[in-house]
Amino acid sequence: MTTQFASTILLNGVPSHQPPLGKTVVYRFTFHSALVRGIVLLLWFGLIWALAWVSSRHFLVRTFADERMVYSREVLQLALARLPNSPRLHKRMAETNLLPTIAEAEPDYAQAGQHALHALQLTPRHGGYWHLLALAQEGQGLTAEAEQSLWQAAALAPADSQINWALANVLVRGDKVDESALYFRRAASLSAALYPLAFDTLWQAGGRKTELLESICTSPVGRVSLAQYLAEQKLYAECATIFQSFDATTLVAVTPLPQVSQTLAQLFEARQFAVARQIWLRLQPDATGTKSGALWDGGFENPTPLVLPHFAWALRDSNYARVGYDDGVHRSGRYSLKLLFTGRDSTTLQGEVQQRLALEPGRRYRFEAYVKSEGHVTTEGPRLVIGVRGKPFAQAPPLASGTWDWQLVAFEFVAPATDEAVFFDIVRTPKLAYDEPTKGVLWFDDLKLIAAEN
């Protein structure tokens, strides 16, 4: 068995007893001096004070560097007097001097520059501080120096959209438009909201060159923004070309639909319906709808509502009819369009079955549709019409009463020169204030609107 030998050790390190050889020794230290206890207490108090000082320093820096709070220059100067070597406080002071305040109506660019320089002396590889210095220099009219500072900032912070944007604009003001395109591209790719501003700047400064605008677009979002901008400049063919340049599958997968919808709205406002439809067709995932010529999905094979319905079927129920797709009765494919009359007197139809068209003025078209009837009772049947604002310029005869199998309904017309939206519609207007109810069911399938060869 191992025997332990306890020995008391004095302050000078001399043991009170010498342990026998070969024995395990356990040393117990005892401090008999008040001096030692005082030193220990001082060390503890020093550690606590150091922690408190560090905490207060961080608290002050966080408080006065918080961009959500607004401080006057005098208050920030007092904070800097306590912490003169805080780069974050110098940054905040530079920002405050760059902006007018309630007390100081004008920016102080010289003071802003000094504080930005002080922050850089403390943290030289901070792109944001170089950006602040550039803003101060530009405010003082030191354009060349501001450009150099922004080069430094962009090298240190290439993923900062504001820095790239500032450098691009400085280069434009220095007549270095082609060189600025790279930094406009970087800025806009980091923040898509900058695309319209970048396009406008390059359009004005670069001599209205579309290729310069295209050079800054690296993503579908950017290219759709460009198409929208070109539509604003009334360059409608170029707008359509942007969309045609996409692979259809990729376009559907990544194109931001709100932007496309806005572009289509701009084209509608400019009465550019043909260009709008060309773009819209490019976005449709199912190409079968194009088999009906100038009419989309004449076979009613796409019952799922489209995200962008601008040139698709617009179907709605009314007091006089119920409208929907029918998979039980069809001439071809899987579906037909079913129109069920509710049997109310003075039956009026307009807008229940409608589609916006884009026709070439002066072009001859042939419209075809197959119609089936069951128990159709009417004083005068509905008509298949093509017109503007509810006024037809081409129409078929009224559909007859009775029950009959699929019959061809067709007519030809020359599209008029108009800048109004043209619609296909199924219309019935009572000739008198009262007429007998229209009853029964009509089915429609295999509609086509084909442009004749010139």
pLDDT tens column, 204-233: 999 999 999 999 998 888 988 999 899 999
With a cut of 70, say whether residue 27 has pLDDT above it. Answer: no
Other CB atoms within 10 Å distance of the CB of residue 84: 11
Rounded-to-integer distance, Cα 150 and Cα 128, Å: 10
Q: CB-based burial of residue 284 (10 Å sphere; 0-12 exposed, 13-18 middle, 19+ buried)?
A: buried
Tens of pLDDT, residue by residue over 146-172, are 999 999 999 999 999 999 999 999 999
Q: Mean per-residue pLDDT for 393-411?
A: 96
pLDDT above 70 covers a percentage of the chain that reads 83
More confident: 104 or 387: 387
As a whole number, the mean pLDDT across the chain is 85
Q: Enumerate domains of the chain plus CATH numbers.
A: 314-451 (2.60.120.260)
Q: What is the mean pLDDT of residues 74-101?
A: 78
Give the C-alpha separation, 316 to 337, whole Å. 12
Q: What's 68's DSSP letter? A: T
Q: How would residue 335 be classed by pLDDT, with cut points 50, 70 and 90?
A: very high
Q: Which stretch of DSSP H or E encloses residue 249?
A: helix 248-254
Split at pLDDT 50, 70, 90, the class of 53 is low
**What local confidence, expressed as pLDDT, does residue 52 receive?**
54
Q: What is the mean pLDDT of residues 97-104?
A: 69
- CA distances 247 to 252, 283, 420, Å, are 9, 10, 31
Please give the full DSSP string across 304-350, using - where no structure is assigned. SPPSS-TTS-EE---SSEEEEEESSS-SSSS-EEEEEE---SS--BS
pLDDT of residue 33: 66
